[in-house]
Structure 1
Amino acid sequence: MTSRANALRYPEGTTKVGTARVREDRTVGRSFAERELMRRTGNAPHSRFDEIADGVGAPAIADSIAGSARAAAQIGSAAPLGKALKSLTAPAKASKYRNTKCESGGIKFDSKREMARWHELVQMQARGEISELELQVPFILAEPVVIAGRKRPALRYVADFVYEQGGVTVVEDVKGRVTEGYRIKRHLMAVRGIAIKEVK
């Protein structure tokens, strides 16, 4: 029986075996620097590994080290590649309020808590406890104005959920942390006669 290693060896210069094309891969067993040098110049660097393995001695080792340094100098500094790889593997910047954005059923949520509350409300609506459930409903608190010659947009509050329960419209917000901006918007909503139900 022929071993698998022998079955995969073909004479030098073979381009086809049956209908399959033989891939010429002469880079196997070479270092990154050697492969990159071959890619850029089209020439394979001279290897002294066999001489070192045969115990030729310190001169062969010194030549090998010098050859590696020459190959590295021809390729260039690896620092830019290192920076690029580091930026790809760096952990994502934490969100301002430590919440984790997530998605469910094609709907994006600002936090897992908000997503869980949405699922609860959907079930409540299915049981008939609430109706007309809406997500991310905007309320205009102040109209657009011009201040110091610059147009400022309308001041808005976006409620997480709005639904009807027992003939009353409920405006609900899932809150982990109450910010100063939210306090002002809550106050302006109360001035309009709308109380926000906060779910923690």
Structure 2
Amino acid sequence: MTIHLSAKHGAAFAPGKSKRNKYGSEKTLLDGILFDSKAEANFYAALKQRAKGGEVTDIELQRQYDLIVHGVLVARYRADFVFFDRIACARRVVDVKGVVTRDFAIKRKLMKACHGIKVEVVK
């Protein structure tokens, strides 16, 4: 049996080649942590600097929240960053996004409805 693939589809099977992200982001390694994009890694680096200066504390990466409506788990949301901002005196939930997808927009609204948490978007 012979399978014929176009150059486009065959490239996915080429050794050493990885499929490019749909939105053009590149995985980035920083401090032994693999981030989904350079923008996310850059935000983390800036957040670490702010932590050194005492502006932020309690940094959490990839914190998961259950989104429950009328006792039913309808989705899960994983925040890129959760931290306490000492200047604003508030816990902040931040997602780094190049593109705000429909799924994210819905989960962002569910976070507000279910947990009373406003998710901030950083581009």
TM-score, structure 1 normalization: 0.50
How far did residue 154 of structure 1 move? 5.6
CA distance, structure 2, for counterparts of residue 154 and residue 136 of structure 1: 19
User: Going by fraction, where is helix more abundant, 1 or 2?
Assistant: 1
Superposition pairs of residues 88-103 of structure 1, within 5 angstroms: 88=15, 91-103=17-29
Tell me which of the two structures has the higher relative contact order, counting C-alpha pairs closer than 8 angstroms and 6 or more residues apart.
2
RMSD: 2.1
Tell me the SS of whatever aligns to 2:120: strand
Q: Counterparts in 2 of 1:19-98, with a 5 A limit? A: 87-88=14-15, 91-98=17-24
Q: What is the number of equivalent residue pairs in this alignment?
A: 108
For 1:157-176, what aligned pairs fall within 5 Å after superposition?
157-166=77-86, 167-176=89-98
The residue identity in structure 2 corresponding to 1:197 is E
User: 1:37 corresponds to which residue?
Assistant: none
Q: What percentage of residue pairs aligned between the two structures are identical?
A: 39
Task: Pick the structure with more strand per residue.
Answer: 2
Is the aligned partner of 1:195 residue 2:121?
Answer: no
Matched AA of 1:134: E
TM-score by length of 2: 0.79
Give the deviation of 1:137 after TM superposition: 0.6
- Matching residue of 2:32: 106
Q: Are residues 1:180 and 2:102 paired?
A: yes
Larger Rg: 1
The runs of 5 or more residues in structure 2 that have no matched partner are 1-9
Which consecutive segments of 4 or more residues in structure 1 shift more than 6 A? none
CA distance in 2, matches of 1:87, 1:164: 45
**Unmatched 5+ residue regions in structure 1?**
1-82, 146-152
